[in-house]
């Protein structure tokens, strides 16, 4: 028997820039990056796609982007920014991926060029996926415009769309070449979108950094009042923890461990069961509450810890129970757990809490205990009829 074994590694590097008023001609952040990216003197092309919600609230972009890029003679803006819907719907309809691919083809976006997505997390997921499969990968730049995208999904390495009723069934691990977090996008968010990203901050704090969780407890009221400085501190620390985790061992999730998905197995199912009426962050808050109660019923954390977690979520403004949790004698939730197992590749790995600030991976879930956790939340938060 003859065998040839091939082993190689591919380094990935990208930066997340924190700035404000990204396309102000006096802000050199994007210009400096684009000028240094790629071969010197090579005529690069750039295609912009904008989330329709962002286009509506920030119409200045259509004049600001061309004026800004005019400062770079070696860069060609191939067309006026293309506007597509944002929100989870853009991941549910394959027509939007086709539209991005058509634009890449029509405008000759090659592997030396850039596709730039400006929008929320779902929009970035879809454009990143289309970019990753075009020419086996064209360079994509993310400009997240929501709290959740700036502190979590937009700074990671995953892209995807929903398929056959399953969240992120189609997707890629394809890091962006850069991420630009512009604080100027956040004041126009409605309260639900402002709040949704806080759930992801609480998630990463609960499994990785107790001091960050304690700071979030003290900052809850400031965050509710939309204090910009508090939010920027939250976004930076959360993004930092997220990126440290990605670099720590298994960035492309070849194993079954996904600690950054704490609270997400139930959240993903809840999004579908509510027809995406729940925002991702709202579903994650409920999922974290469920897994926190489960951790207590499993004897891992005390009642006082549970109350601290639930309390900070409530103070920020989250509802921590939805009737969809209990539908069909909780069998729909059980189906969600099995779908999560399948998404991981067969072996179930769920993160629970060993302590505040410390996650614990387990490979078995007691569904009777899950049902009891649902009942616990229902008794606390379901209004009496």
pLDDT band at 136 (very low <50, low <70, confident <90, very high): very high
- Percent of the chain at pLDDT above 70? 95
Q: What is the pLDDT of residues 341-351, one digit of tens each?
A: 766 666 788 89
Give the lowest-confidence range in 29-38, 40-49, 246-255, 318-327: 246-255
At 9 the pLDDT is: 86
Q: What is the pLDDT of residues 350-360, one digit of tens each?
A: 899 999 999 99
Q: Are 122 and 170 in contact (CB under 8 A)?
A: no
Q: Are 145 and 185 in contact (CB under 8 A)?
A: yes
Domains of the chain, with CATH numbers? 15-188 (3.40.50.1970), 191-381 (1.20.1090.10)
At 254 the pLDDT is: 66
The answer on pLDDT for 384 being more than 70 is no
Rounded Cα distance, 168 and 163, in Å:
7
**DSSP letter, residue 383:** P
At 385 the pLDDT is: 55
pLDDT band at 60 (very low <50, low <70, confident <90, very high): very high
Task: Provide the CB-side half-sphere exposure for 4 (13 A, CA).
Answer: 1
- What average pLDDT does the structure give for the chain? 92
State both tokens at 137. Answer: 């990968």
Rounded Cα distance, 346 and 194, in Å:
35
Rounded Cα distance, 296 and 385, in Å:
28
Mean pLDDT of 216-223: 98
Rounded Cα distance, 374 and 335, in Å:
15
At 349 the pLDDT is: 84
CA neighbor of 123 nearest in space, from 103, 143, 107: 143
Rounded Cα distance, 368 and 377, in Å:
14
pTM of the full predicted structure?
0.91
* C-beta pairs of 337-342 under 8 Å, 24+ apart in sequence: 337/265, 337/266, 337/269, 337/365, 337/367, 337/370, 339/166, 339/268, 339/269, 340/264, 340/265, 340/268, 340/269
**DSSP letter, residue 252:** T
Contacts of 116 by beta carbon, 8 Å cutoff, 6+ apart: 46, 47, 48, 49, 140, 141, 143
At 358 the pLDDT is: 95
Q: What is the pLDDT of residues 147-187, one digit of tens each?
A: 999 999 899 999 999 998 888 899 999 999 999 999 999 99
Q: What is the pLDDT of residues 259-318, one digit of tens each?
A: 678 999 899 889 989 998 999 999 999 999 999 999 999 999 999 999 999 999 999 999
**DSSP letter, residue 300:** S
């Amino acid at each position: 028997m003859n065998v040839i074994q091939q082993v190689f590694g591919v380094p990935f590097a990208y930066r997340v820039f924190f700035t404000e008023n990204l396309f102000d001609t006096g802000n050199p952040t994007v210009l400096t990056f684009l000028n240094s990216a790629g071969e010197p003197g090579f005529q690069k092309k750039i295609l912009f796609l904008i989330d329709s919600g962002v286009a509506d609230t920030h119409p200045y972009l259509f004049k600001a982007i061309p004026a800004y890029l005019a400062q770079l003679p070696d860069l060609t803006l191939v067309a006026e920014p293309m506007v597509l819907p944002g929100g989870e719907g853009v991941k549910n309809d394959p027509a939007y991926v086709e539209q991005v691919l058509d634009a890449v083809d029509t405008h000759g976006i090659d592997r030396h060029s850039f596709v730039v997505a400006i929008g929320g997390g779902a929009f970035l997921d879809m454009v990143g996926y289309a970019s990753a499969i075009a020419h086996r990968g064209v360079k994509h730049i993310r400009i997240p415009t929501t709290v959740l995208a700036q502190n979590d999904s937009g700074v990671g390495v995953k892209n995807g769309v929903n398929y056959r009723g399953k969240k992120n069934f189609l997707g890629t691990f394809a890091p962006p070449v850069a991420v630009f977090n512009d604080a100027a996008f956040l004041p126009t968010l409605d309260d639900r979108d402002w709040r949704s990203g806080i759930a992801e901050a609480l998630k990463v704090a609960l499994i990785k950094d107790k001091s960050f969780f304690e700071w979030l407890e003290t900052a809850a009221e400031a965050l509710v009042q939309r204090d910009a400085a508090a939010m920027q501190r939250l976004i930076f620390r959360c993004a930092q923890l997220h990126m440290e985790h990605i670099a720590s061992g298994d960035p492309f999730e070849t194993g079954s461990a996904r600690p950054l998905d704490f609270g997400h197995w139930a959240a993903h199912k809840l999004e579908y069961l509510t027809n995406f009426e729940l925002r991702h962050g709202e579903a994650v808050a409920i999922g974290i509450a469920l897994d926190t109660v489960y951790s207590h019923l499993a004897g891992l954390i005390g009642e006082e810890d549970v109350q601290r977690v639930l309390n900070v979520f409530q103070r920020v403004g989250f509802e921590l129970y939805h009737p969809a949790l209990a539908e069909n004698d909780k069998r729909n939730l059980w189906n969600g757990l099995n779908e999560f197992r399948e998404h991981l590749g067969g072996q179930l790995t769920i993160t629970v809490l060993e302590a505040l600030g410390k996650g614990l991976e387990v490979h078995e879930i007691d569904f009777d205990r899950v049902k009891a956790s649902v009942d616990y939340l229902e008794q606390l938060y379901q209004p009496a009829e």
